[in-house]
């Protein structure tokens, strides 16, 4: 006797994000940390406690010298945008960070391209905020030691606070 044919139960589409109306924006926070060695694109919920996705430029390229490149940052941001869409996040507030502290306060080369890639992937951009840490005279800044070619003596050049921000 042949086995009985049974109908497979219909599977519903599983939604990971919150229940929202059509066209309503669901916000997340994109923390973009762009140093001169790497670029991190880290998306959390609005409280900042729950990580949705975190991708770095080093995860996208093989060569170490390319980790902080705009291309690697663009690939990282595209991966993050795809994951945000899966979860149901449609808009992002952006917190941009450079090394800061006693280091440079200028974001690395991947900051702009990561932000542009998020926007081009269809993510709506809410607020853009610079959250680079500012020192309050706690640590002494690193000095630069250079060899003087004329007298073959060491010259210590202290990074000044007026022109080397």
Specify the residue for token string 């980790």: 67
pLDDT in tens, 60-73: 999 999 999 999 99
Question: What dihedral do alpha carbons 52, 56, 62, 64 form, nearest 10°?
Answer: -160
Look at residue 15 in the predicted model and tell me its pLDDT.
66
Whether 12 is covered by a domain: the verdict is no
Look at residue 87 in the predicted model and tell me its pLDDT.
92
Look at residue 102 in the predicted model and tell me its pLDDT.
87
* Plot region of 23 (φ>0 → left; ψ -120 to 50 → alpha; else → beta): left
Average pLDDT over residues 4-12: 73
Whether 156 is covered by a domain: the verdict is no
Q: Which residue has the higher pLDDT, 90 or 154?
A: 90
Look at residue 82 in the predicted model and tell me its pLDDT.
96
Whether 21 is covered by a domain: the verdict is no
CATH code, 112: 3.30.420.80
Specify the residue for token string 């000044």: 160
For residue 123, the enclosing domain spans 27-137
Name the pLDDT band for 109 (thresholds 50, 70, 90).
very high
pLDDT in tens, 143-152: 777 766 666 5
Label residue 50 exposed, middle or buried (CB < 10 Å: 0-12, 13-18, 19+). exposed
* Plot region of 5 (φ>0 → left; ψ -120 to 50 → alpha; else → beta): beta
For the chain, the domain total comes to 1
- Quote the pTM value: 0.77
Whether 124 is covered by a domain: the verdict is yes
Whether 5 is covered by a domain: the verdict is no
Whether 84 is covered by a domain: the verdict is yes
Whether 75 is covered by a domain: the verdict is yes
Q: How many CA atoms lie within 13 A of 160 on its CB side?
A: 3
Look at residue 165 in the predicted model and tell me its pLDDT.
52
pLDDT in tens, 21-59: 888 999 999 999 999 999 999 999 999 999 999 999 999
Whether 109 is covered by a domain: the verdict is yes
Look at residue 91 in the predicted model and tell me its pLDDT.
96
């Amino acid at each position: 006797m042949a086995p009985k044919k049974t109908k497979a139960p219909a599977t519903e589409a599983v939604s990971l994000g919150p229940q929202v109306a059509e066209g309503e924006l669901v916000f997340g926070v994109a923390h973009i940390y762009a140093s001169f060695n790497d670029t991190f694109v880290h998306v959390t919920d609005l409280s900042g406690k729950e990580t949705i996705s975190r991708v770095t430029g080093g995860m996208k390229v093989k060569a170490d010298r390319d980790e902080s490149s705009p291309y690697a940052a663009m690939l990282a941001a595209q991966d993050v945008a795809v994951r945000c869409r899966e979860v149901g996040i449609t808009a992002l507030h952006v917190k941009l960070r450079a090394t800061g502290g006693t280091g440079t306060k200028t974001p690395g080369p991947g900051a702009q391209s990561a932000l542009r890639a998020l926007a081009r992937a269809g993510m709506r951009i809410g607020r853009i905020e610079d959250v680079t840490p500012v020192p309050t005279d706690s640590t002494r800044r690193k000095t630069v030691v250079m060899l003087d070619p004329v007298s073959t003596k060491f010259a210590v050049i202290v990074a000044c606070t007026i022109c080397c921000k």
